[in-house]
């Protein structure tokens, strides 16, 4: 009989003291259910990644660790961001895990989809995406802007799974392939499909946030979208070229029009061409400099090779190492 596979569920946390007691309880119940059904190994773990929280999140994680060996955690020395919290959890879990699942702590992603994900993995899939069955719980603005973002990314040539965030299962080999991507600006929703192993989807109904406030306000959502666009495609640069060509053609038309109007004596000489040149060229330059600046900024970040995160405490490695030695 083949040995059961070890699952690690990775939960990034940032100021989640209000929701963590409930989400940890629900996730523990799912893990126990899978262990009792002999679908995963008894050494499977819940790994909470405290992304530099300023509330009681870390103390709650430590209290959980004292109650059950399934609970483990790591704590960042400062806030490093959601994507880096996921990367930290996956990097630490990789050596001891046969599969991992990432899920947010806010209970909006249905934890009951986890058994379905595991079953799909055991059926042969390396990547299982948790996909929302609808966006009825979103506001009109959020729903439409999300759809516009997915459409834009598709036209830019980025392979993304619509209505999928960071709720997914990865096999060990899929996770190993993902961790081989060394870039610092990790846009996981675009990178995971590049792994290329057999993938499938599990659909679920997204719930309202259990407690607390969203950690992705409009400002962060826009920054996240910009990261996705500039991390994956050079099409914006080509759009600048097309815009430049269009501006030149427009300028020629305006010059011809100005000359005609000047010969007729209908305008002050030089005014139309001057104003058109200022507005056209200034606008094109500002757009071009802004987008090129995004790419230069990413190059600047990459060449510095700063660490993605700095771990202040690591209870996961020591606990898993002890359990392995007991085996």
| pLDDT, mean over the chain | 81
pTM across the whole model: 0.75
User: Which numeric CATH code is attached to 7-215+309-326?
Assistant: 3.90.550.10
Q: Give the pLDDT of residue 196.
A: 81
What is the average per-residue pLDDT within 5-25?
Answer: 93
Q: Where along the chain do its domains lie?
A: 7-215+309-326, 235-304
Position 205 pLDDT exceeds 90: no
Strand arrangement, sheet containing 99-102: 199-204, 127-132, 164-171, 99-102, 7-13, 45-50, 71-76, 311-314
pLDDT attached to residue 121? 96
Higher pLDDT, 278 or 17: 17
Residue 82 pLDDT greater than 80, yes or no? yes
| 160 alpha carbon, distance to own chain's centre | 11
For the cut 70, the answer to whether the pLDDT of residue 322 exceeds it is no
Q: Given this model, what pLDDT does residue 163 score?
A: 82
Q: Between residues 98 and 316, which one has the greater pLDDT? A: 98
Q: What pLDDT score was predicted for residue 139? A: 63
pLDDT digits (tens, 9 = 90+) for 121-164: 999 999 999 998 876 666 666 666 667 766 766 766 677 787 88
- pLDDT of 68 > 70? The answer is yes
pLDDT at 99 (0 to 100): 96
pLDDT of res. 46: 96
Give per-residue pLDDT as tens, 219-243.
666 666 666 666 666 677 767 767 7
Q: Quote the CA–CA distance of 104 and 93 in Å, as a whole number.
A: 16
Q: How confident is the model at residue 278 (pLDDT cuts 50, 70, 90)?
A: confident
Token couple for 230: 């500039």
Mean pLDDT confidence for 94-113: 92
Instruction: Note the pLDDT tens digit of each residue in 27-64.
Output: 999 999 999 999 999 999 999 999 999 999 999 999 99
Q: What is the pLDDT of residue 270?
A: 66
Q: Is the pLDDT of residue 253 over 60?
A: yes
The pLDDT of residue 56 is 93
Predicted local distance difference test score (pLDDT) of residue 117: 95
Distance CA 43, CA 91 (A): 18
Say how far apart CA 255 and CA 209 lie, in whole Å: 57
Phi-psi region of 287 (alpha: psi -120 to 50; beta: other; left: phi over 0): alpha
């Amino acid at each position: 009989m083949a040995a059961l596979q070890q699952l690690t569920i990775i939960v990034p946390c940032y100021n989640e003291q209000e929701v963590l007691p409930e989400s940890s309880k629900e996730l523990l119940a799912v893990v126990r259910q899978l262990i009792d059904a002999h679908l995963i190994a008894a050494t499977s773990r819940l790994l909470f990644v405290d992304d530099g929280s300023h509330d009681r999140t870390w103390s709650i994680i430590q209290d959980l660790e004292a109650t059950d060996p399934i609970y483990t955690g790591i704590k960042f020395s400062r806030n490093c961001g959601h994507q880096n919290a996921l990367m930290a959890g996956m990097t630490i879990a990789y050596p001891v895990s046969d599969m991992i699942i990432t899920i947010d702590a806010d209970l909006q992603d249905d934890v009951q989809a986890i058994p379905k994900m595991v079953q799909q993995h055991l059926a042969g899939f390396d990547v299982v995406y948790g996909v929302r069955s609808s966006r009825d719980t979103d506001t009109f603005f959020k729903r439409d802007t999300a759809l516009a973002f997915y459409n834009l990314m598709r036209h830019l040539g980025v392979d993304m799974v619509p209505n999928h965030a960071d709720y997914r299962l990865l096999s060990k080999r899929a996770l190993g392939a993902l961790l081989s991507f060394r870039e610092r600006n990790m846009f996981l929703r675009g990178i995971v499909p590049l792994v290329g192993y057999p993938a499938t989807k599990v659909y679920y109904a997204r719930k309202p946030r259990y407690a607390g406030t969203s950690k992705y306000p409009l400002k962060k959502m826009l920054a996240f979208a910009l990261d996705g666009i500039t991390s994956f495609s050079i099409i914006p640069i080509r759009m600048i070229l097309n815009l430049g060509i269009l501006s030149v053609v427009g300028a020629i038309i305006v010059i011809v029009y100005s000359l005609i109007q000047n010969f007729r004596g209908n305008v002050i000489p030089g005014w139309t061409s001057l104003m058109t040149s200022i507005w056209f060229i200034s606008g094109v330059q500002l757009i071009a400099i802004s987008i090129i600046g995004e790419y230069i900024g990413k190059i600047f970040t990459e060449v510095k090779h700063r660490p993605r995160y700095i771990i202040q405490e690591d209870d996961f490695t020591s606990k898993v190492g002890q359990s392995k030695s007991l085996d």
